[in-house]
C-alpha cells in the first residue's frame, strides 16, 4: 500500500498532476530503471514484451505478434526520431514481416513514416526519421508477422529546434504544465491561495502575445486571474500569470483556465484547475451497480459493473479469496494493483467499468468490492458505505468433453493413441514464454506497483518491476525434461523445434541457485545429508548413491507430470537430423537410462510415478494445464488422469498390461502376482545394525536377502528356505557404517525393497 502524506504550507497545498503525454525531448531504452517508472508518461505499449536479445547488453522491446504496437503521444512539435531495430529469426536474411513506423496528428489517422520489410539485420541498426511538425503521435507497429520477432531499443524523439515563431510553454515551479493537463490546488474554505504560472516564449525572434486568460467551469467563481491581460512575452523570455483560489465550500471546486495566445500550434492553452476546499475532493454520491462475470475460466475471469451517475473520477476494485470483503480504502491514499488493504488485494484503480482478473486458479471462489472515488493524488476521497459486491467461482478443469475419446488404457495401442491425441500442436516459442506465461499467468501483482514470480522448484518469491526480463530478474525457463536428454539436442535449429519450446514442460526457476545446480541431473529423492540446498529444493545422493535433484514437495508431482508429458508427446516422432548419442534411450523419447559419461545412470520413473500420487494435481496445476491448452491446443494427459501414467513404461515407451493401481509403489521389471501375499518389514528402522526381519509367506519358498549401500555395493547377502506363515528373523550387522542402505528380498514370484538407516 502506498500512503501519500502531505502538509498544508501557509494554509494551502498545490499539485501538478501527471498527464498522459510526453514532454519533448523524450526517450526510453526499456531499462527497468527508467524514471518515472517502467512506462514513461505518454508511452503506451500494447502486446509488446521485453527481453535481452543477442548483440544487445540491455533490455529491448519485443514485437512478436501481429498487432503489437508501441505508441508515443507528445504535446509539442517533434524533431528527429531515432531508434535501433533488429530482426530476430533463425535466418535474419529471410525475415519477411512488415514493421511500420507511423505518425499521426490525432492518434486516429496514421500515415507511414518508415516501412521496414525484408529486413537483413543481424545486429542492431540505428535509424533516423523526421516526423511532420504537426504530428503528435508516433507508433511502432508489427503490421504483419510472417516469421521471427522485431527487437526495438533506444527510442528517442527530439524537440523541434526553436524557430523564430513564438511558442508557448507553461511551468509551475519547476514542473512543466501540459496543455489539457490537470493542476491541483487545495486550500481551507474561505482562505485565498495564489498560484504563479510561468509563461515562457521559447521562440527565437517573435514575441508571444497573451490576449486573454479566461476562467470557465462549475466553480470558476472560486478562482480569479490577478495578472492583467493582454501582455507580451519577448523571445527566449518569460512572464508570470497569477491565479488565486478561494474555495467557497468543502470538496471539489473545478474550473478551466484558457490562455489565449498567438502561438500557431497552441493558440488556446488549456489548464484544468482541480481545486479542493479542505483536504479531500467531494465524496461520490453513489456506488456502481450490477456486477456480472463473463469468460469464467479456470485461469481467468472478467468482471463487469454499471457505473453510477454522476460519474465519479474512478473506481477501486478489491478482491479476496474464499470470503466476503469487509475492508475499506483510506481517503488520501493512492492504491495500485497488488496493494493490500486488510485481508483484501487491489485489482485495479481506474475509470473503466470492467476488470480482467489475473492470478486465478481452478475451483476457487473470489469475492469483490467496488468503491467509487473522486479526486486526484493526495486529494482522493472514497465512498466507503455500501460498496458494490459480488463473487464468482472459477471453472474446474476445462478438459473438453470427449477429448480422450478413442484413447483407452485397455487398448494395445494406448501409447500411440495418447501420443496422437496431443501431438501435433501449435508451437509457442521459447522467447515468448516471458509475456505469455510469466506475465500473463505465473506472475502476481504485489505492493508498490511491483510483481512477484515464484520459482517452481525452490518456492522462492522473486519481486520485480515490469517490464519483466529474464536476465535482470535472474530467472530462466527450465526444461523439466532436460534439453541435453532430448534426441534432437544436436540439431543446429533445435530452438525452432516444438519439443524445445513446449510450455507444458517449461517452468520458471532461479537460474544461479536452482537451474544451474540442477543442470542435467535426474530428479530423485535425496537421502542423508544433502550436498546443497536452496529453500525448498536440494541436491544430494539417492538411496542408490546417485546424484539427484529433489524439488520442493509441493512441486514434485508437477515436475513428474511435466517430464512424463514430454515423453508421451514426442515419442515416435520421425526425425532424420543428428541424433543425441551422449545419452542411452530404451526407446524413442524414453526417459534416459544413462544420461552421459559423467552421469552414468538415468531418470528413475518409479520416483516420478510415486510423486504423481504423492502430490496430485492441485487447482493451480489444473489452471496451468487449461491455460497452456489455450495457447498450444493440447493438454497434459497426466494432469487429466492420474492413472494414465501407470499404463506406460517410460524407459521403453511401451504399454504395461494390467499394472498395479495405483502405481505409486510399483517396481518395474518384476512381475507382480496379485495372489502372493508375501510381505516383509524391518524393525526397528533406523537401527544400529541389530534388527528383525519380519517376513510372511503364503507357502514354502526360497528367498534371497541382500543389503546394498548408497554406492551400490552389496554388503550382505544370504539365502533362506521359508515355510508358510510369519517368520521373525533376527539379524546382526554391527560393523556397518552409518548411512542409508537398501534391503532387498527376492522370491521366485516377486522382489521387494525397503530403505534402512543405520545410526
Is the pLDDT confidence value at 422 over 60? yes
The answer to whether 758 and 742 are in contact (CB under 8 A) is no
Instruction: Give the DSSP H or E segment for 694.
Output: strand 690-697
C-alpha cell at 437: 506465461
pLDDT of res. 64: 84
The pLDDT tens digits for 346-364 are 999 999 999 999 899 999 9
The answer to whether 368 and 317 are in contact (CB under 8 A) is yes
Q: Is 492 exposed, middle or buried (0-12, 13-18, 19+ CB in 10 A)?
A: exposed
Of 293, 306, 325, nearest to 394 (Cα)?
293
SS3 assignment for 272-287: EEEEEECCCCCCCCCC
- Counted residue by residue, the chain has a size of 759
Tell me, yes or no, if the two domains 168-277 and 679-758 fold the same way. Answer: yes
Highest mean pLDDT among 191-195, 712-716, 737-741: 191-195
Distance CA 245, CA 313 (A): 21
C-alpha cell at 544: 542408490
Of 646, 641, 685, nearest to 665 (Cα)?
646
Question: C-alpha distances in angstroms, 610 versus 179, 546, 607?
Answer: 66, 18, 5
DSSP string, 147-197: SSEEEEEEEEEEEPPP-SS--EEEEETTEEEPTTEEEEEEE-TT--EEEEE
- The model's confidence at residue 678, banded by pLDDT at 50, 70 and 90, is very low
Is the pLDDT confidence value at 673 over 50? no
Distance CA 302, CA 236 (A): 53
Which residue did the predictor score with more confidence, 162 or 679?
162
What's the rounded mean pLDDT across residues 533-561? 96
The answer to whether 509 and 455 are in contact (CB under 8 A) is yes
Angle between helices 553-570 and 414-422 (to 10 degrees): 100
Distance CA 211, CA 227 (A): 12
Question: C-alpha distances in angstroms, 11 versus 172, 185, 186, 245, 378?
Answer: 18, 11, 9, 12, 16
**What's the CA dihedral at 544, 546, 550, 553 to 10 degrees?**
0
Ranking 173-177, 495-499, 505-509, 740-744 by mean pLDDT, the lowest is 740-744
Read off φ and ψ for residue 501, nearest 5 degrees.
-100, 0
Contacts of 412 (CB under 8 A, 6+ apart): 655
* Residue 577: DSSP 8-state: S
Pairing, β 149-159 against β 231-233: unpaired
The Cα diameter of the chain in Å comes to 118
Distance CA 401, CA 398 (A): 9
pLDDT of res. 122: 66
What's the rounded mean pLDDT across residues 575-591? 70
Question: C-alpha distances in angstroms, 41 versus 18, 21, 28, 38, 72?
Answer: 8, 6, 11, 10, 9
pLDDT of res. 76: 85
CB burial string 198-235: b at 16+ within 10 A, e below? bbbbbbeebebbbeebebebebbebbebeeeeeebbeb
pLDDT of res. 429: 83
What's the rounded mean pLDDT across residues 239-261? 97
Question: C-alpha distances in angstroms, 68 versus 47, 122, 563, 628?
Answer: 5, 21, 33, 21
Ranking 387-391, 509-513, 660-664 by mean pLDDT, the lowest is 660-664
Residue 528 backbone zone (phi > 0: left; psi -120 to 50: alpha; other: beta): left
Of 573, 590, 363, 355, nearest to 481 (Cα)?
590
Distance CA 561, CA 577 (A): 28
Domain ranges of the chain: 26-159, 168-277, 289-393, 414-655, 679-758
pLDDT of res. 31: 73
> 3-class DSSP state for residue 381?
strand
Per the listing, cell 517430464 goes with 563
CATH number belonging to domain 289-393: 2.60.40.10
Neighbouring C-beta atoms of residue 99, cutoff 10 Å:
23
The answer to whether 585 and 596 are in contact (CB under 8 A) is no
Ranking 201-215, 275-289, 726-740 by mean pLDDT, the lowest is 726-740
Ranking 392-406, 497-511, 651-665 by mean pLDDT, the lowest is 651-665
What's the rounded mean pLDDT across residues 255-269? 95
CATH number belonging to domain 679-758: 2.60.40.3080
* Residue 571: DSSP 8-state: T
The answer to whether 226 and 244 are in contact (CB under 8 A) is yes
> 3-class DSSP state for residue 185?
strand
Distance CA 48, CA 200 (A): 38
Per the listing, cell 504537426 goes with 134
Instruction: Give the DSSP H or E segment for 350.
Output: strand 344-350
pLDDT > 90: percent of the chain:
63
C-alpha cell at 669: 521389471
Distance CA 454, CA 438 (A): 10
Strand segments, DSSP code E, in 489-550 are 506-510, 532-534, 537-541, 547-550
The answer to whether 443 and 434 are in contact (CB under 8 A) is no
Distance CA 739, CA 688 (A): 10
Instruction: Give the DSSP H or E segment for 625.
Output: helix 619-632
Is the pLDDT confidence value at 209 over 80? yes
The pLDDT tens digits for 44-98 are 888 887 777 666 666 788 888 889 999 999 988 899 999 999 887 654 445 578 8
Per the listing, cell 522467447 goes with 431
What's CA 129's distance to the chain center, in Å? 34
pLDDT of res. 583: 60
pLDDT of res. 726: 62
The pLDDT tens digits for 455-488 are 999 999 999 988 788 888 999 999 999 999 998 8
C-alpha cell at 176: 512543466
Which residue did the predictor score with more confidence, 585 or 735?
735
> 3-class DSSP state for residue 187?
strand
What's the rounded mean pLDDT across residues 106-123? 83
Distance CA 421, CA 635 (A): 9
Is the pLDDT confidence value at 409 over 60? yes
What's the rounded mean pLDDT across residues 372-380? 94
Neighbouring C-beta atoms of residue 512, cutoff 10 Å:
11
Strand segments, DSSP code E, in 358-443 are 365-374, 381-382, 388-393
DSSP string, 444-470: EE-GGG-EEEE-TTT--EEEE-SSP-H
Distance CA 710, CA 428 (A): 42
Neighbouring C-beta atoms of residue 657, cutoff 10 Å:
10
Distance CA 599, CA 597 (A): 5
CATH class, range 26-159: mainly beta
Highest mean pLDDT among 24-33, 215-224, 493-502, 673-682: 215-224
DSSP string, 482-496: -GGGSTTTT-TTGGG
Q: What residues pair up with 585 in beta bridges, in sequence order? A: 592
CATH number belonging to domain 168-277: 2.60.40.10
What's CA 76's distance to the chain center, in Å? 36
Is the pLDDT confidence value at 176 over 50? yes
Average pLDDT, the chain: 88
Highest mean pLDDT among 222-226, 694-698, 750-754: 222-226
pLDDT of res. 640: 94
Amino acid at each position: 500500500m502506498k500512503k501519500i502524506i502531505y502538509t498544508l504550507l501557509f494554509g494551502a497545498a498545490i499539485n501538478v498532476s501527471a498527464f498522459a503525454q510526453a514532454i519533448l525531448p523524450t526517450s526510453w531504452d526499456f531499462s527497468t530503471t527508467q524514471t518515472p517508472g517502467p512506462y514513461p508518461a505518454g508511452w503506451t505499449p500494447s502486446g509488446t514484451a521485453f527481453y535481452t536479445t543477442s548483440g544487445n547488453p540491455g533490455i529491448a522491446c519485443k514485437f512478436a505478434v501481429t498487432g503489437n504496437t508501441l505508441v508515443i503521444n507528445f504535446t509539442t512539435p517533434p524533431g528527429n526520431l531515432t531508434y535501433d531495430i533488429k530482426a530476430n529469426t533463425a535466418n535474419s536474411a529471410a525475415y519477411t514481416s512488415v514493421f511500420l513506423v507511423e505518425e499521426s496528428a490525432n492518434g486516429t489517422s496514421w500515415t507511414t513514416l518508415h516501412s521496414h520489410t525484408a529486413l537483413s539485420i543481424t545486429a542492431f541498426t540505428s535509424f533516423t526519421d523526421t516526423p511532420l511538425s504537426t504530428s503528435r503521435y508516433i507508433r511502432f507497429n508489427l503490421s504483419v508477422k510472417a516469421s521471427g520477432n522485431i527487437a526495438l531499443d533506444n527510442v528517442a524523439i527530439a524537440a523541434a529546434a526553436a524557430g523564430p515563431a513564438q511558442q508557448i510553454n507553461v511551468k509551475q515551479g519547476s514542473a512543466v504544465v501540459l496543455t489539457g493537463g490537470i493542476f491541483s490546488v487545495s486550500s481551507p474554505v474561505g482562505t485565498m491561495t495564489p498560484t504563479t504560472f510561468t509563461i515562457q516564449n521559447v521562440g527565437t525572434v517573435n514575441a508571444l502575445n497573451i490576449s486573454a486568460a479566461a476562467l470557465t467551469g462549475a466553480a470558476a467563481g472560486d478562482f480569479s486571474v490577478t495578472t492583467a491581460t493582454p501582455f507580451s512575452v519577448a523571445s527566449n523570455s518569460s512572464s508570470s500569470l497569477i491565479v488565486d483560489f478561494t474555495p467557497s465550500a468543502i470538496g471539489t471546486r473545478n474550473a478551466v483556465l484558457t490562455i489565449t495566445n498567438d502561438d500557431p500550434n497552441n493558440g488556446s492553452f488549456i489548464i484544468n484547475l482541480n481545486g479542493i476546499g479542505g483536504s479531500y475532493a467531494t465524496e461520490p454520491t453513489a456506488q456502481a451497480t450490477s456486477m456480472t462475470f463473463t469468460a469464467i475460466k479456470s485461469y481467468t475471469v472478467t468482471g463487469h459493473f454499471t457505473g453510477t451517475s454522476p460519474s465519479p473520477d474512478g473506481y477501486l476494485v478489491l478482491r479476496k479469496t474464499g470470503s466476503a470483503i469487509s475492508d475499506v480504502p483510506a481517503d488520501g491514499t493512492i492504491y495500485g494493483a497488488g496493494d493490500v488493504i486488510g485481508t483484501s488485494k487491489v485489482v485495479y484503480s481506474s475509470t473503466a467499468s470492467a476488470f480482467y482478473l489475473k492470478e486465478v486458479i481452478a475451483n476457487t471462489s473470489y469475492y469483490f468490492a467496488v468503491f467509487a472515488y473522486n479526486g486526484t493524488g493526495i486529494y482522493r476521497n472514497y465512498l466507503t458505505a455500501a460498496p458494490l459486491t459480488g463473487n464468482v467461482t472459477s471453472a474446474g478443469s476445462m478438459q473438453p468433453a470427449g477429448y480422450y475419446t478413442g484413447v483407452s488404457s485397455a487398448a494395445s495401442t494406448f501409447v500411440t493413441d495418447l501420443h496422437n491425441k496431443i501431438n501435433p500442436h501449435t508451437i509457442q516459442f521459447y522467447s515468448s514464454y516471458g509475456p505469455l506465461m510469466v506475465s500473463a499467468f505465473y506472475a502476481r501483482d504485489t505492493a508498490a506497483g511491483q510483481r512477484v514470480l515464484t520459482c517452481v522448484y525452490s518456492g522462492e518469491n522473486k519481486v520485480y518491476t515490469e517490464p519483466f526480463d529474464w536476465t535482470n530478474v535472474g530467472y530462466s525457463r527450465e526444461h523439466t525434461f532436460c534439453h541435453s536428454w532430448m534426441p534432437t539436442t544436436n540439431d543446429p535449429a533445435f530452438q525452432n523445434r516444438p519439443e524445445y519450446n513446449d510450455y507444458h514442460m517449461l517452468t520458471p526457476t532461479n537460474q544461479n541457485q536452482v537451474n544451474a545446480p540442477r543442470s542435467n541431473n535426474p530428479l530423485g529423492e535425496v537421502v542423508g545429508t544433502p550436498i546443497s540446498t536452496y529453500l525448498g529444493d536440494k541436491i544430494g545422493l539417492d538411496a542408490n548413491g546417485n546424484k539427484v535433484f529433489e524439488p520442493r514437495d509441493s512441486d514434485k508431482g508437477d515436475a513428474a507430470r511435466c517430464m512424463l508429458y514430454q515423453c508421451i508427446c514426442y515419442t515416435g516422432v520421425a526425425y532424420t537430423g543428428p541424433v543425441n548419442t551422449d545419452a542411452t534411450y530404451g526407446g524413442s523419447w524414453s526417459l534416459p537410462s544413462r544420461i552421459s559419461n559423467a552421469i552414468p545412470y538415468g531418470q528413475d520413473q518409479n520416483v516420478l510415478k510415486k510423486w504423481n500420487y504423492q502430490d496430485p494435481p492441485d487447482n493451480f496445476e489444473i489452471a496451468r494445464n487449461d491455460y497452456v491448452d489455450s495457447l498450444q491446443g493440447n493438454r497434459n494427459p497426466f494432469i487429466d488422469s492420474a492413472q494414465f501414467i501407470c499404463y506406460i513404461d517410460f524407459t521403453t515407451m511401451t504399454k504395461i498390461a494390467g499394472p498395479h493401481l495405483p502405481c505409486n509403489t510399483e517396481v518395474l521389471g518384476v512381475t507382480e502376482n496379485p495372489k502372493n501375499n508375501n510381505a516383509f518389514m524391518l524393525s526397528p528402522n533406523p537401527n544400529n545394525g541389530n534388527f528383525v526381519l519380519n517376513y510372511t509367506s503364503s507357502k514354502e519358498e526360497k528367498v534371497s536377502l541382500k543389503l546394498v549401500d548408497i554406492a551400490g555395493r552389496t554388503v550382505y547377502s544370504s539365502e533362506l528356505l521359508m515355510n508358510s506363515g510369519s517368520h521373525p528373523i533376527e539379524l546382526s550387522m554391527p560393523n556397518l557404517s552409518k548411512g542409508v542402505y537398501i534391503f532387498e528380498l527376492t522370491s521366485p514370484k516377486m522382489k521387494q525393497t525397503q530403505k534402512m538407516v543405520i545410526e
